[in-house]
Amino acid sequence: MTNSQTVVLGQRQKVQPLNGQQETRWCFLVLVLILFCGGLGVANHQADEPEIKEHLSLSTQDRSLLLNLSSAITEIRFLQQMDNQWPSIQLLAEQQIPPFDQLFPLSHASSELDGAVGGGDYLWSTPEEGCYLGMSQQTELSSFLLLIPVTERSGDELPGKLYSRAEFYNQDEFYNQDELYNQANALDHADCHDLSQWQLQLTEF
Amino acid sequence: MSGCLSALLLLSLNVSAATGVEGIEKRDTPLKVGITLHPYYSYVANVIGDRAELVPLVDSGFNPHSYELQPADLKRLLSMDALVLNGIGHDEFATQAVEKLIHSQPELKQQLTLINANKDVPLLASANSRNAWNPHTFVSIDAAIRQVYTIAKSLGQLDPENAKYFQRNAIQYARKLRGLKNRYMRQLVATDLSSIRIASTHNAYGYFLQEFGIRIDTVIEPAHGVEPSASQLKKTIERIRSANVNLLFTELDMDNRYVSTIERATGIHLHHFSHMTYGDYDPDKVYREMEQNLKTLNKALKQASSDNHDAEQKG
């Protein structure tokens, strides 16, 4: 043994154990970094939540009617362009356009009722041009309002809109046809513009 | 001077002849319209009549649940002016490829108009998947009519000279389909449908049954085109028993191996519908196969109603 070796032996030297501790720490840090970057990537690339459509909360019967009415808009426009006047409920029934073909006229003369016809589940009327109102006669069925804006030229069509409203209709309130007649008369122009009670379901094109 | 004036007159006459009396733009060549699925072939064929060309994107004989576009299909795509899509999950083999192509070839975007046939249809949610629509709007009459009108309007915008013609054809076709449905619906007027419970292997009949006021109680496949596992099948069988499901609808053209297991385990009545996306392309396919489906539905509902009635009488 030399004197220099004796001097070295006098110093304290820390010897790390060969158990991979340091490597483990580095690996762990890199792992955390990768996970963090991955997490950021996932968080920033979430698919958009699809828009919740209002009509999904409607019953099967209401949805079926909504679908019929969405096609009826096209047929009403077609008839209006052909005849240069908005079709009445009676005409729509004669043309067998659903849902208007599922009705029969009330016992009162149709002119007194201003074209309102009903029977079965809905009371249909046209309070104004381009406005078709179907009042539900059953508690479990919604009422529907179809609004087609009146335009000057066929090339400038504005989209029609379909609204629905849940009804809590008490059948006991109406004892006879006269009561129904009064309800039909009560469907005035205000119903085509006061949309506060209505829920928009569909906009045409 | 007079030569110049007459030349100008001739030119203006030519221009007005080209645009028509009302100033409607006239195409040089007939519209070339593509489709991705068989029912849309029927819809478009009945709308365009003989005033446009119809081109299926894929040759007949493919399974839309498991297809990937081939180079020959892409070649056809590049020749189209418009492509009518289901667009809500039944022709993803086409929609995804087309979106990528349009992204990489901006000139294709100029040339090709994508027509989303379902954009005006109030859609149903998919039964067993979240955030997905039920794409089977083509197995129906009412939803079919709504799509036919959307298609006619879109094609009319691309070919304004024939817009009225397309619209008239669409309305005529709609009336034909409605007449078909009404014939079968009338036969069910006296049938009590209130206690009928329905299951189906594939979630394809929601729109169709909705037209009769019926909803589907149980859909067996866990996702579109995916067969149930053994434990999922067991749960389904238990559900069918506990909910007193009377009818099981399955497909004519799909090999559902587990259907006989369900039939044996529950005694349920089995009926086959056409999914309408197999076989040759044909303008009358929709009418023919929907008539078959209406006949099957009528038979099934009457049988289930009378079985319920008998059970009540005995009880």
* pLDDT string in tens for chain A (205-residue length): 455 555 556 788 888 888 899 899 999 999 999 999 999 999 998 877 666 677 778 888 899 999 999 999 999 999 998 888 999 999 999 888 989 887 543 333 333 334 445 556 888 999 888 999 998 888 888 999 999 987 766 556 788 899 999 875 444 555 566 655 555 455 444 468 888 888 888 888 7
**Closest approach of B167 to chain A, Cα-based (Å):** 8
- The alpha carbon torsion through B104, B106, B111, B116 (nearest 10 deg) reads 70
> What pLDDT, on the 0 to 100 scale, is given for residue A120?
67
CB contacts of A61 in chain B (<8 Å) are 213
Q: The complex's ipTM?
A: 0.84
Asked if the peptide bond before residue A99 counts as cis, ω within 30 degrees of 0, the response is yes
> What pLDDT, on the 0 to 100 scale, is given for residue B2?
56
B9 in a structural domain: no
What is the extent of the structural domain holding A151?
56-203
Residues B230 and B153 in one domain: no
Contact A98 B142 (CB under 8 A): yes
What is the extent of the structural domain holding B48?
27-184
Distance CA B297, CA B194 (A): 15
Distance CA A69, CA B107 (A): 38
Residues B68 and B205 in one domain: no
Domain count, chain B: 2
Q: What share of chain B is helix, strand, coil (3-state, %, to 5)?
A: 50, 10, 40
Contact B180/A at CB under 8 A = no
> What pLDDT, on the 0 to 100 scale, is given for residue B152?
97
Of A47, A49, A202, the CB nearest to B122: A202
Residue of A67, A100, A205 to mutate when probing chain B, most B C-beta within 10 A: A67
Please tell me which residue of chain B has the smallest CA distance to A74.
Answer: B149
What is the residue type of A144? F
Tens digit of each residue's pLDDT (9 = 90 or more) over B265-277: 888 888 999 999 8
A7 in a structural domain: no
CB of B83 closer than 8 Å to CB of B77: yes
Residues B176 and B201 in one domain: no
Of B125, B143, B153, the CB nearest to A67: B143
Provide the CATH number for the domain around residue B213: 3.40.50.1980
CB contacts of B149 in chain A (<8 Å) are 71, 74
CB contacts of A47 in chain B (<8 Å) are 131
- Cα distances from A186 to residues A22, A165, A173, A177, B3, in angstroms, run 86, 17, 15, 14, 71
Residue of B22, B118, B134, B145 to mutate when probing chain A, most A C-beta within 10 A: B145
Contact B123 A53 (CB under 8 A): yes
Please tell me which residue of chain B has the smallest CA distance to A81.
Answer: B164
Those residues whose C-beta lies under 8 Å from the C-beta of residue A188, and which sit 6 or more positions away, are A127
Give the pTM: 0.81
Distance CA B208, CA A56 (A): 16
Low-confidence stretches of chain B (pLDDT < 50) are 9, 11, 13, 15-21
Contact A71 B174 (CB under 8 A): yes
Residues B70 and B216 in one domain: no
Average pLDDT over chain A, rounded to an integer: 78
CB of B248 closer than 8 Å to CB of B269: yes
Contact B182 A204 (CB under 8 A): no
A96 in a structural domain: yes
Q: What share of chain A is helix, strand, coil (3-state, %, to 5)?
A: 40, 15, 45
**Cβ neighbours, 10 Å, residue A4:** 8
Backbone φ and ψ for A36, nearest 5 degrees, come out as -60, -45
A111 in a structural domain: yes
**Closest approach of B272 to chain A, Cα-based (Å):** 23
A21 in a structural domain: no
Contact B71/A at CB under 8 A = no
The helix (run of H) or strand (run of E) holding residue A75 is: helix A60-83
A48 in a structural domain: no
Domain count, chain A: 1
> What pLDDT, on the 0 to 100 scale, is given for residue B61?
80
Tens digit of each residue's pLDDT (9 = 90 or more) over A94-107: 888 989 887 543 33
Residues B178 and B52 in one domain: yes
Max CA-CA distance within chain B? 102
CB of B298 closer than 8 Å to CB of B196: no
Distance CA B128, CA B235 (A): 14
Contact B32/A at CB under 8 A = no
Contact B24/A at CB under 8 A = no
CB contacts of A78 in chain B (<8 Å) are 167, 171
Beta carbon pairs, A and B, within 8 Å? 57
> What pLDDT, on the 0 to 100 scale, is given for residue B6?
54
